[in-house]
Amino acid sequence: MTTSAGERTRTLDARVGETHRRASFIVTGIITSILVYVVIALFVISRQPAREFSTQTRISFYAAAAFLAFGSIFYRRAQMRRIRLEVVTGLRGITGLLKHFFQVTLVSVAMADLIGVLALVVSFSGGDRGMVLRIGVVAIAVALFAYPRRRSWQQAAEYFAETMPGIEQ
């Protein structure tokens, strides 16, 4: 039984669409959880007596947030390079490529969630409102950067399906 190129494209579109929907749902949930962390952190700060962090402690929290943010961005960029995608597709086919896209998105957004948790930790440690908001903004920015781009996924899947003959669809 042979399938036409149009059928294969529709099937590929459906598979990319399903994987993208799942990833988008998870990223949206993580962004929501980050917002909840920030709201809880602001509530905690409003209920505590004002304390002041030392400069060293502030720098430590900001450095941790920056480390996680850059780690997420660098991880995503390294895993989405063309050569890496070629290797994944060559070894695992289009199904493996779509799983790779999903996994990279999950790991990147998990790091953003950790930054959100860091904002919550700041509030319990006696940090101020501004610090919580700055760390929360970084967490949301990283999560938005990790948000899956369906068009890019679709183009990559179509490209590898066409240029790597004999790979499993």
Please check whether residue 150 is in contact with residue 13, taking contact to mean a CB–CB distance below 8 angstroms: no
Could you write out the DSSP letters of every residue in 132-146?
A: HHHHHHHHHHHHHHH
SS3 state of residue 50: coil
Please check whether residue 86 is in contact with residue 4, taking contact to mean a CB–CB distance below 8 angstroms: no
Please give the pLDDT value at position 18: 95
Q: pLDDT (tens digit, 9 = 90+) per residue, 36-88? A: 999 999 999 988 877 777 889 899 999 999 999 999 999 999 999 999 999 99
- Helix 129-146 with 5-47: angle, nearest 10 deg: 180
Domain boundaries, the chain: 5-163
Segment 24-47 mean pLDDT: 95
Segment 13-35 mean pLDDT: 96
For all residues of the chain together, what is the average pLDDT? 90
Confidence of residue 5 (pLDDT cuts 50, 70, 90): low
pLDDT at 16 over 90: yes
Could you write out the DSSP letters of every residue in 6-45?
A: HHHHHHHHHHHHHHHHHHHHHHHHHHHHHHHHHHHHHHHH
The total of other beta-carbon atoms located within 10 Å of residue 138's CB is 21
Question: What does pTM read for this prediction?
Answer: 0.86
Among 6, 19, 58, smallest CA distance to 154 is for 19
pLDDT at 165 over 60: yes
